Structure 1
Amino acid sequence: LVISFHISAREDFSVQATISWLLSEIFGVQNVSIVAEEDIQTISKDESASLLDNVVNTVNESLAFASKYGLQSPETTLGSTEILEAISRCNSTGGPSGRHWVLDPVDGTLGFVRGDQYAVALALIEDGKVVLGVLGCPNYPVKTELLNYHSWHHQTMAQSSLTTPDTGGKGCVLYAKSGSGEAWLQSLIDGEKMLEWPNRARLIRVSSIDDPALATLCEPVERANSNHSFTAGLAHSVGLRKQPLRVHSMVKYAAIARGDAEIFMKFAKCGYKEKIWDHAAGVVIVEEAGGVVTDAGGRPLDFSKGMYLEGLDRGIIACSGVTLHEKFIGAVYASWDSSNL
C-alpha cells in the first residue's frame, strides 16, 4: 500500500505540473486558473524531497515529447522551483464567474496502480458552465470489439485484448466542445506514428439502444462511495438484464460516449460530496456525443458552486438517450422511499 501511494502521488503531481506548465505557456500565467486535486503543501515538505525529485524527472521526460504533439517543450530543463510554481498555480476554487480549468491528474488511483482503467481529466469552465472536456484513457482500447464486459474489472488490459495484433493503438483521448454537437476520439500512437497524431481523430456517438434489456450499466468499482445495492435495485426495476460493468474512473463516461455502454449511475452514501473534477470533462463529452447527464431529480449538474457539486439531488444518472434516462429518473422516484440511502 505504501509503494502504491508513492507511485500514485508521483504521477498525480507530475501530471498536474505538466498540464499547469503547458497551459501557462499557451495562455500566459496570469490568464490561467486551475482547480485541481493535489495542493502544494504535501510536496513542499522536507520529507517529500525524494518525491519532488521524482516529479521533476518525470515532468521533464514527458515535456521532451511535447513538440511531437504540436505543443511547446521547455528551452531548458525545468528545476524544482519551476515545478513547484506550476503546482502552486493549481489553487483555484472555481465558482460562478471567470474561466477555470478543472483537472484530475489521475482519476481512478486504484485502477492506475493495478494496471487497469484510469483517466487524465481536464475541463474548462466559463462562468459556471463546462465548455470543454478532455479525457485521456491510456488503457482503454481503441476498437470497441476488443472489450470484454464480463472480465474487464478482473483483468488488466495488458492481459486481455491489447495483446491482440492490429489493435489500432493502445489507449485513446476523447474531447468535446460544448454546443458543437460533436465528440471526438483520438488514438494514442507510439513511436514514428506520433507524426500522424493530429490527423487520426474520429467522431463518436452514443449507442442507439433504448431497450433496457439490451443495455449495459456502468458503475464504480469501489463500494466506499457508491451504493451498489440501490443501483442494482433500480436496474432490476427498469428491466436491465446484463451484468454491470464496474470500471475505475471517468472511463465510465468514455464508455457511454463511445457507445460501449448505455447507463452510468452513481448514488453516493451519506456524507460523500462529489467533486467537480470527477465529472466535468466526462459530462460534456457524453452530452456532445448525444447523451444525457443529470442528477437523479432530472436537473443539469451545477458546476458553478466551487469545488463540489453542491445541491446534487440524490445522485447522478448518465444515459445514451432520453428514453433510457426518463425510465431511470422515474424508477428513482418510485423506489426512493424504500431505499436505504
Structure 2
Amino acid sequence: METEKFRQELDIAVRVVHLACSLCRKVQQSLVSSRYDQSTSKDDDSPVTIADWSVQAMVSWMLSEHFGSQNLSIMAEEDTKTLLKPDSSDLLTTVVKTVNECLDEAPKYGLKSPLKALDVPQVLHAISRCNSNAGTVGRHWILDPVDGTLGFLRLDQYAVALALIDNGQVVIGVLGCPNYSMRKDGMKLAMSNNSLLVNNPSENNKGCVMFTARGSGKAWMQPMIGGDEEFEWLKRTEQIRVSSINDPAQATFCEPVERANSNHSFAAELAHSVGLRKQPLRVYSMVKYAAIAKGDAEIFMKFARVGYKEKIWDHAAGVLLVHEAGGVVTDAGGRQLDFSRGVYLEGLDRGIIACSGADLHNKIVNAIFASWDSSSL
C-alpha cells in the first residue's frame, strides 16, 4: 500500500495545498474588492492570475525545502515569460509580495517559513524550476496551481491540484477546492450561490481539501481553516466515498463549462441514449472529480474536439481521488489513463469517462462505441 510508503510526501502535500488554498482565497477576495487588474493573458489567450504564479512559486519553494532541490522534479503549468516583460514590473512585485505573505502563514499549517522574505530572483527561480517533463522513471510532482482560472476569475469553482507520480503511476493526489462546501449537498450549494461562498468564507462550512494515496482504497476530506483555527482541520478529517446510485435516471452528470475543448452536443446525445434525465452540471476545474469522489455526482464525461490534447496536470490528482474513493476513470474506450508519457495524456481514446461505479461506466462506454461513428468528433 502506497499510503505508508509515501506518508511524508502525502502529509506535506496536504499541508501545502491547504496553504495554497488560503492564498487563492485571499487573492480572490481582493479581486472582488480591488480595482487592480488581477489577471493578464498568456499566448493562448487563457487568463492567468496572480494566484497562479504565487501558488506555483510557494509550492515549488516548499517542496524544495522539504525534499531537497537537487533531484526534485516538478511539472507545473506556468512559466515566467509574462512576468519578465518590461511592462510587468508591478505584476511581478505583487506576485512576490503575495508569495511572502503566504509563506508568513506557513507555521499555521505545520510548515516552516523562510528565515527572510524571498526576493524577486528567488520567486522567479521557484516558478521556472517547475519545468519537468515527468516520464516513466523516478518521482515527479505534478501541479496545477489554479485549475479553472476562468472559474477563479468569475468567483466560481476552481481547484489547486497536486499529485505525485512514481515510476509512471500517480501515487498521491491532493485537490484543494476553496469554493466547494463539505456539506453533502455541496455541489448544489456551489452551483446556486457562488458569490455568497466567496464573500462569506465561514458560511456553510465552505472550502475543503481532498486527498488520497494509491492502493489505500480510501479518500479523505478536510475543511479549509480560517481565523485562528490552527490545526483544528486535522481533527475534522472525514472519509469520502462515491455515490451508490447506479440508475442513470437518478444520476447527476458533470461536464466542462468551456465549449472550446469539449463537445456538449455529443455528450447530450450520449446522456440521452443511456437514460440520463437530469440536466448536466457545467463545472469549472477538477471540482468535477471532487464531486464524484464525494458522492455529490455520479458521472463526468469530456469529449475533446480533434486536435486538443489533455494535459496531465488537469487530471492526475482528480483521477486518483475518484479511483480510491471507489469510482472508475478511463478513456472513452475503457482503457486506463497513462500519466507516464510527459505533459500530455498520450494515446487517449476519444475522451474521458469518470463514474461512481462500474455499471454506469460500462453503460456509457458501450453507448460510445454504438454511437461514435455518427458523431462529428
Q: Give the shorter-chain TM-score range.
A: over 0.9
In angstroms, what is the RMSD of aligned CA positions?
1.9
Q: Using the alignment, how far apart are the partners of 1:227 and 1:53 within structure 2?
A: 40
* Residue 4 (structure 1) shift: 5.7
The one-letter code matched in structure 2 to 1:317 is: I
Identity %: 64
Q: Residue 319 of structure 1: which of 348, 355, 359 is its match? A: 355
Q: Using the alignment, how far apart are the partners of 2:289 and 2:199 within structure 1?
A: 21
* Residue 195 (structure 1) shift: 3.0
SS of alignment partner, residue 188 of structure 2 = coil
Segments of structure 2 that go 5 or more residues without pairing to the other structure are: 1-35, 41-46
Q: Using the alignment, how far apart are the partners of 2:50 and 2:198 within structure 1?
A: 28
Alignment of 1:152-231 (within 5 A): 152=191, 155-159=192-196, 167=204, 169-231=205-267
- Aligned counterpart, 2:99: 59
User: Is residue 139–residue 170 contact of structure 1 (8 Å, CA) maintained in 2?
Assistant: yes
Q: Residue 124 of structure 2: which of 52, 60, 84 is its match? A: 84
Q: Using the alignment, how far apart are the partners of 2:68 and 2:186 within structure 1?
A: 41
Alignment of 1:12-161 (within 5 A): 12-148=52-188, 152=191, 155-159=192-196
Q: Does residue 1:337 correspond to 2:373, yes or no?
A: yes
How many residue pairs were aligned? 336
Q: Residue 299 of structure 1: which of 325, 335, 340 is its match? A: 335
* Residue 88 (structure 1) shift: 1.7
Q: Using the alignment, how far apart are the partners of 1:213 and 1:161 within structure 2?
A: 33
Cα–Cα, structure 1 residues 165 and 44, in superposed 2: closer, same or farther, change >3 Å?
Answer: closer
Q: Residue 235 of structure 1: which of 247, 271, 276 is its match? A: 271
User: Is residue 39–residue 87 contact of structure 1 (8 Å, CA) maintained in 2?
Assistant: yes
The one-letter code matched in structure 2 to 1:43 is: L
CA deviations 1:66-107 (Å, max 9, x no partner) are 111111111111111110111121011111111111111111
CA deviations 1:226-269 (Å, max 9, x no partner) are 00001101100000011101100000000000000000000000
Q: Using the alignment, how far apart are the partners of 2:229 and 2:367 within structure 1?
A: 48
CA deviations 1:279-308 (Å, max 9, x no partner) are 000000000000000000100000111000
Q: Using the alignment, how far apart are the partners of 1:34 and 1:156 within structure 2?
A: 35
User: Is residue 116–residue 139 contact of structure 1 (8 Å, CA) maintained in 2?
Assistant: yes
Q: Using the alignment, how far apart are the partners of 2:87 and 2:295 within structure 1?
A: 46
The one-letter code matched in structure 1 to 2:264 is: H
CA deviations 1:91-139 (Å, max 9, x no partner) are 1111111111111111101100011000011110111110001111000
The one-letter code matched in structure 1 to 2:108 is: K
User: Is residue 202–residue 226 contact of structure 2 (8 Å, CA) maintained in 1?
Assistant: no
- Aligned counterpart, 2:4: none
Q: Using the alignment, how far apart are the partners of 1:337 and 1:274 within structure 2?
A: 22
Segments of structure 1 that go 5 or more residues without pairing to the other structure are: none
User: Is residue 180–residue 206 contact of structure 2 (8 Å, CA) maintained in 1?
Assistant: yes
- Aligned counterpart, 2:344: 308
SS of alignment partner, residue 83 of structure 1 = helix
Q: Using the alignment, how far apart are the partners of 1:305 and 1:90 within structure 2?
A: 17
